[in-house]
Structure 1
Amino acid sequence: MRDNFMARWLPPLMAFCLSFIIILGLAPALGFQIDRQIDFWILWIGTMLILALPLVYLEIALAKRSKTFVLNALSALTREADASQKWRIVGWLSAVFIPFLAGGILFNIAQTVVQSTQLNMSTHIVFLTGAVIACGLSFLNRQILVLLTAVSVIASFVIANVMGTNLQPWHVTPVEFGEWGKATILALVASGLGLGIYAQSQLAQVQVADRATGSVLPVWFAQILAVVAFGFFAVSSAIPAYSALAAAVFSAALLLSLAKEQFIQRRIALPIQFIVLLVALLIWGIPQLVNIFNPLLMIWGLVICLIYSIFVGWIMKISHLRKAMNFSNEVFYNIWRIAVRIVLPLSIVMALVAYIGQLI
């Protein structure tokens, strides 16, 4: 009974917590602080439906088809599709991106904590301390890490709202092209960027499920809830700041645990595992490079989404994922395929153009 309960509720709980922390860590640093703009949120709802939902279906469908984690999956999937082995690079890009993402979340939230609390300590010291703790915690059981993350995320949200968030009122602003790019980025970040971490957390259940929808919708709804919660959250005092930092440390530990599990299944030598994980995480501690890492983080994540959508939409055989998802109606599959083949790649390219344009 307990195992069934945990298997059912752990993936959406993890989706809520990680989505919330990822957005909290990346949003201010990447220049899309939402400022409670009604028009932006309408755009975001649209992108969650037409972009994030197909991406979550893609993630679960690949897990059902390959019956393994994302790093291993590309080997089997490219053979089935008679595709070039070059497509397998997206699996490595995803696996290495996970600890890099963990470092980005931890550094940016550490920076927020130092700024909001006027802590007499540099951001890099706070980050490195949190990173060392996260590395140690990553050896804990997955369920424990998810529960620790959940407690800290919920505590941060509750404490922040009890102590006051000082958010401005909801308002309407003119819709601009840049807003579409930000909404797309936010939706894809909330969905986990197609990294396979939500499918990985429920692989046993995904394999035996008749339909993909039962695994997809709880995760997707949890992601929507996370972004809504972010819209009512702000760090405006020391206590919620420290609570958010604790949540970031637990989240980083959880992400490191997921990446480590992928490397173990791929039978990567233990020393190489630790080198890749530690370098991708601790590289955020180099002061001279931090300013380029946040843009690199987002562009890297969007490129991963783009490669997955092209591979699944144009390279894989149509029949393979139709069987994996087993929609109740063929119309749903055709809509999903159009979204993955056309809507998702075009939207990602537009988001990249908008984001890079802002950087320039």
Structure 2
Amino acid sequence: MMVRYASYFMAALLPLLLFRWFAPTSIGEIDFWLLWLFAMVLVSLPVIYAEIALAYRSIEAPLAGMQKLTREADASPLWRSFGWLTAVVAIAIAALIISGASSGLLSALTELNSAPNLPVFAVASGLMVIAVLLSLLGVAPLPIGLGLMVVGLVMGLTNGLPQVEFAMTNINLTEWARAVALALVSVGAGTGLYWFGQHLVTKQTVTAVEPDGLNVTKSHSTKLHSTKTPHTYRAAKLVLPIWILQLVIGIVALFSSGLALPPIGQLLYHAGVLFVASYLLYYSAQQLAHKFGLVVGLVITLIVGVLLVTIVPTAWLVGLLVIVSSIAVLVLSIFAGWHMKISHLRKSLNFGSEASYNLWRVAIRLIVPLALILALVGWILLWLS
């Protein structure tokens, strides 16, 4: 049952984890949040639809699925890079939140007069090793992480909600860049996480057994076939709940980003972050396992994760995450919009009307790539300044 709700857990967790890195310094900038809502509708929503459609079509994890889909569409193997990019994005997100958690834990322990005499990078490396070990538990750490984070935030509410003064500011390209990054990264659009979640559900269905221990081959084949049958599901049944949940949690994250957590609340919150990071590393290792095997996939994930938290500054990690995730979303949007067969996507999405499908197709082919290119230009201007 936990596998079935993995996508919803991640939809609720990512905004809480990543808003702090992409929200403006003054969270009361009305124009920024309007741009974020605009990007959520025009960029994130079409991308999540594309991701779920490809998941239904391939019935595989992203890396294996892209190999199958590129052969099916007779497209260049270059588009399979999306699978590799998603693994890098997952490790980068895990490294970023673990870096933040290590600083937060040391700060909380200092207030409790219990801080170890260790540099931040050493604590971050230790947490990364622990997170990789926890990743062996698969999906199980997700509800634990969410519970600990919620308890920590509730403890912060004892000091009252922070006062937010809302005001309009000037709209510019760098603000659009931050809004698009927030709309993509913090909701997981283009990371392959929802694709992977759908794959886990399908895999669980296929490998289920009857009480007598025998595989239910007939019922499984029926269920597996139903995932390919356009009349048995609609992508909106999965996409819209995820997207609405992200929108609601995003608003909660907006108002809770300025909460002052007590030391115990910080410890609980950052312990929860560690459990969530383990799922991201599990996802990355599973992707790499398709090519190298599980053990090598875990080793590569560990090495890359430790290197990121020890030698890459946090600000650079944010930049790395922006670049890699933007490229991943661009690859996904171009492949889904221009290379996938129309008939295959129409069946996978199964919209209620042809007009809805046409709107999505225009968005994924034109609006999403243009929005991403403008956002990357905005980030370049921000970094140069």
TM-score, shorter chain, exceeding 0.5: yes
Unaligned 5+ segments in structure 1 are: none
Does residue 164 (structure 1) correspond to residue 160 (structure 2)? The answer is yes
Alpha-carbon shift at residue 346 of structure 1 (Å): 0.5
Does residue 132 (structure 1) correspond to residue 132 (structure 2)? The answer is no
2:103 to 111, 118, 125: 111
SS at match of 2:136: coil
The verdict on how the C-alpha distance between 1:185 and 1:289 changes in structure 2, with shifts beyond 3 A counting, is closer
The verdict on how the C-alpha distance between 1:136 and 1:160 changes in structure 2, with shifts beyond 3 A counting, is same
Preserved CA contact (<8 Å) 2:162 2:255: no
Does residue 183 (structure 1) correspond to residue 206 (structure 2)? The answer is no
- Once the two structures are aligned, what percentage of the paired residues are identical? 32
- Partners of 1:178 and 1:289 in 2: how far apart? 21
The verdict on how the C-alpha distance between 1:72 and 1:50 changes in structure 2, with shifts beyond 3 A counting, is same
SS at match of 1:172: coil
- Partners of 2:237 and 2:143 in 1: how far apart? 22
Preserved CA contact (<8 Å) 2:146 2:276: no
1:269-348 matches, cutoff 5 A: 269-287=293-311, 290-348=314-372
- Partners of 2:312 and 2:182 in 1: how far apart? 27
Preserved CA contact (<8 Å) 1:193 1:304: no
The verdict on how the C-alpha distance between 1:34 and 1:67 changes in structure 2, with shifts beyond 3 A counting, is farther
Does residue 211 (structure 1) correspond to residue 234 (structure 2)? The answer is yes
Preserved CA contact (<8 Å) 1:21 1:251: no
Does residue 74 (structure 1) correspond to residue 66 (structure 2)? The answer is yes
- Partners of 2:108 and 2:165 in 1: how far apart? 21
Alpha-carbon shift at residue 34 of structure 1 (Å): 5.0
Alpha-carbon shift at residue 331 of structure 1 (Å): 0.4
Alpha-carbon shift at residue 277 of structure 1 (Å): 0.4
Preserved CA contact (<8 Å) 1:66 1:73: yes
Q: Deviations over 1:4-50 (max 9, x none)?
A: xx5664432331013321334x337xxx3452222211111111111
SS at match of 1:131: helix
- Partners of 2:129 and 2:152 in 1: how far apart? 22
Unaligned 5+ segments in structure 2 are: 203-223
Preserved CA contact (<8 Å) 2:55 2:198: no
Preserved CA contact (<8 Å) 2:92 2:320: no
Alpha-carbon shift at residue 335 of structure 1 (Å): 0.4
Larger Rg belongs to: 2
Alpha-carbon shift at residue 203 of structure 1 (Å): 2.8
- Letter aligned with residue 39 of structure 1: D
Does residue 252 (structure 1) correspond to residue 272 (structure 2)? The answer is no
1:37 to 23, 29, 33: 29
Preserved CA contact (<8 Å) 2:31 2:169: yes
Preserved CA contact (<8 Å) 1:47 1:187: yes
The verdict on how the C-alpha distance between 1:97 and 1:9 changes in structure 2, with shifts beyond 3 A counting, is closer
Preserved CA contact (<8 Å) 1:193 1:302: no
Q: Deviations over 1:49-100 (max 9, x none)?
A: 1111111101100100111110111111111111111211221121232122
SS at match of 1:138: helix
2:94 to 102, 105, 108: 102
The verdict on how the C-alpha distance between 1:334 and 1:8 changes in structure 2, with shifts beyond 3 A counting, is same
Alpha-carbon shift at residue 235 of structure 1 (Å): 4.5
Please report the TM-score for the alignment, with normalisation by the length of structure 1: 0.89
Alpha-carbon shift at residue 216 of structure 1 (Å): 0.7
Please report the TM-score for the alignment, with normalisation by the length of structure 2: 0.84
Count, aligned residues: 350
Does residue 192 (structure 1) correspond to residue 188 (structure 2)? The answer is yes
Alpha-carbon shift at residue 114 of structure 1 (Å): 4.2
- Partners of 1:10 and 1:138 in 2: how far apart? 14
2:148 to 152, 155, 160: 152
